[in-house]
Amino acid sequence: MGFRFANVAGRSSLVDDAGDFYDLERMTGGDISADPEAALADLDALSAAQSRLDDMTPFGTLDGADIRPPVTPRNVFAVGLNYADHVAESNMELPTAPLVFTKFPSCIVGPNADVELRSEHADYEVEVVVVIGTGGRDIAAADAWDHVLGLTAGQDISDRALQFAAQPPHFDLGKSRDTYGPLGPTLVSPDMFADATDLALSCSINGEVRQDSRTSNLIFSIADLIAYLSSIMTLAPGDIIFTGTPDGVGGSKGIFLQPGDVITSEVEGIGTLTNRCI
């Protein structure tokens, strides 16, 4: 048994299949810390608590709760052009190595935060996000999943004009404006999924589906990405990796986010992010 974790109003919580949450410090009489980083340091305790949820009374439902990012990341890696259909819509060549850039951690916000556009060229990208649990260097792809704390969902909001304002392009700045990194709503351990390498992900704008794919379509798999990044630098607990977005982004059609637009992003088993553009 694994766990489905959420940060509700700054407090460690677990989430059941119905989307109700349970405050970990209160349900365990203080055995598990209310501090998310401390709670995520003992995964066995989280799994044991998750298995007891059926006998507990929920503290509330995630709908309408103050959900914060499940982790406060150290490094935020992101991968461009990691779905073949998105490579095609971008008129680019298939990459021969992962195209890695950074989102600065200061852009990370909760799963239902407003996105401050500050640009006429802001675009959406739904992604599955990997959270590293056990760090390491030179991690073999075959061992990579042992280093994964869990999976969450993210929006890699991108200012396309800023992203390509310089040559070579500076992806890092174009994807790191304040609020450009919604993350959540839950952080789910790999063993909670029937197949953690094949998750549906989708994104709608004002209810119209724009992106709809599965992570089994990734060019470089989660294991490949961990092996690649750890061959360059030591990965540490709390590092996160945005794994790439499928086709259907607005920029390739010249359509950009407008104030008032609502971005709804969903990943199977993880939940929904709802972000209003202001």
**Residue of 13, 186, 230, 245 that binds Zn ion (CB under 5 A):** 245
Distance CA 193, CA 184 (A): 16
Retrieve residue 24's tokens: 């970990």
Q: Which stretch binds Zn ion (CB under 5 A): 43-51, 104-112, 199-207, 237-245?
A: 237-245
Q: Enumerate residues 105-134 that contact Zn ion by CB under 5 A.
A: 125
SS3 call for 15: strand
Distance CA 145, CA 33 (A): 26
Q: Would you say how long the chain is, in residues? A: 278
Distance CA 92, CA 172 (A): 19
Q: Which stretch binds Zn ion (CB under 5 A): 67-75, 97-105, 138-146, 244-252?
A: 244-252
Q: Which stretch binds Zn ion (CB under 5 A): 40-48, 148-156, 193-201, 217-225?
A: 148-156
Residue number, 189 or 215, with CB nearest to Zn ion? 215
Min. distance of Cβ 103 from Zn ion in angstroms?
Answer: 9
Min. distance of Cβ 182 from Zn ion in angstroms?
Answer: 12
Under the binding rule (CB under 5 A), the answer on residue 159 touching Zn ion is no
Q: What is the DSSP letter of 259?
A: T
Min. distance of Cβ 49 from Zn ion in angstroms?
Answer: 33
Q: Which stretch binds Zn ion (CB under 5 A): 133-141, 155-163, 207-215, 227-235?
A: 155-163
Distance CA 203, CA 210 (A): 6
Min. distance of Cβ 177 from Zn ion in angstroms?
Answer: 14
Cα 58–Cα 60–Cα 65 angle in degrees, nearest 5: 150
96: how many CB neighbours lie within 10 A of its CB? 7
**Where on the chain is the footprint of Zn ion (CB under 5 A)?**
125, 156, 245
